[in-house]
Structure 1
Amino acid sequence: MSNLAVTNELFFDRTGLDSGRVESIVGEALAGMDDGELFLEYSQSESVALDDGRIKSASFDTTQGFGLRAVADDAAGYAHASDLSEPALRRAAAAVRAVATGHHGTLAAPPAGTNRMLYTDMNPLGAVDLTARAKLLADIDAYARARDARVRQVMASLSGVWQAVQIIRADGSRAAD
């Protein structure tokens, strides 16, 4: 599955947002601007911490949201929200339009798509269950204590973050990672 397909599923299929309407909102918000884009973000993070042979904390968090940026001459307008909805996007669009007062620019061309894919689009956070991660931390604790009898306290943790982003420009061009 491509990065664009993964992010389309996260930002449109799951939320019920219509991609065509979002493109239209972005296009209207950035009309007459010199530059700008909608940045959609979805992130999952997890952490497990061990202290003296016991799991002290374990957490999992999911966040999502967007940022809308508009540039007119040397002025920039920026609005963001964690609510991925059409009303929130429309409020953000109205806010960034404030920098366009009396400005009639030409939107900059999108950056060239020259990036290489350096990793897969798979979310690795669910690949190893909590029991296996707790065992790895216990093994680290045992290893540190076996190295030197003077070791009195061992603290170890595992953390991971998976992030997906999609950028939509006024001309409808998209990039995803």
Structure 2
Amino acid sequence: MIAREPTLARLAIAEQALLEPYDLSPARLRQALGEILSHGVDDADLYFQTTRSEGWSLEEGIVKTGSFSIDQGVGVRAVSGEKTAFAYSDDLSWASLLDAAHTVRTISGQGQSRRVRTPASKVSRSRSLYPGTDPIGSLDSSAKVALLEQVERLAKAADPRIVQVMAGLAAEHDVVLVA
């Protein structure tokens, strides 16, 4: 049997990473979807994502490169009949989300008037395929450099013919929320 607890735990992580820092809430997401659907749009969704990535490389016994990046944003989609409209913002503020919602709702057909009810939020059952740990935060920078140096030592110790070792360490942490 598939339990709801992993789903609720992941939902809490997504809300903490994508909504709370920007003063967003599930109620505000419902409000944004309602803004879109109130203009005769058949369907709409919000796709939030934040991606943090880090990379280290060791060459000739020296850490030659290190990089870190953060990308985040929200995609808004509206479907009306056979038409689809998209809007995107890398600003996760309420004003930007509402602006994107107003942009995509213009896809609705002219002259249509009908009532659309926004469905209540529903958490579906799932199973946990990946641990909820952040690989970037699992080791500090000095531990990551020490790990690369250890890889170099182990490689050179494995065979005396090995004179140069190039090693890399990369991690990425994605959090996604779809409403």
Taking structure 2 as the reference length, the TM-score comes to 0.79
The number of aligned residues is 168
- Write the letter of the residue equivalent to 1:159: A
- Pair 1:15-2:26 in alignment: no
Unaligned runs of 5+ in 1: 169-177
Q: Which residue identity is paired with 1:143?
A: L
* 2:96 counterpart letter in structure 1: A
Measured on the aligned residues, the alpha-carbon RMSD in Å equals 2.8
- For residue 40 of structure 1, report the CA deviation from its aligned partner: 1.1
Determine if contact 2:76/2:100 at 8 Å carries over to the other structure: yes
Shift of 1:18: 4.3
1:55-88 deviations in Å (ceiling 9; x for gaps): 0112222222101011122211111111011121
The SS at the match of 2:129 is coil
CA deviation string 1:98-122 (max 9, x = no partner) = 2212367979x89993532112323
Q: Which residue pairs with 2:104 in the alignment?
A: 96
Aligned to 1:175: none
Ranges in structure 2 where 5+ consecutive residues have no aligned partner? 1-7
Q: Which of 70, 76, 83 lines up with 2:78 in the alignment?
A: 70
- Checking the alignment, whether the CA contact within 8 Å between 1:22 and 1:86 is kept in structure 2 is no
Task: Say whether 1:138 aligns with 2:138.
Answer: no
Residues in 2 aligned to 1:34 and 1:156: alpha-carbon distance in whole angstroms: 51
> 1:113-148: CA deviations, max 9, x gaps?
353211232323211122221122112222333344
Corresponding letter in the other structure for 2:73: G
Query: Cα deviations across residues 43-66 of structure 1 (Å, max 9, x unaligned)?
Result: 221111111110011222222210
| Maintained 8 Å contact 2:49/2:177 | yes
Q: Which amino acid aligns with 1:92?
A: A
The residue number in structure 1 matching 2:164 is: 153
What amino acid does structure 2 have at the position aligned with 1:157?
Answer: G
| Alignment TM-score, normalising by the size of structure 1 | 0.80
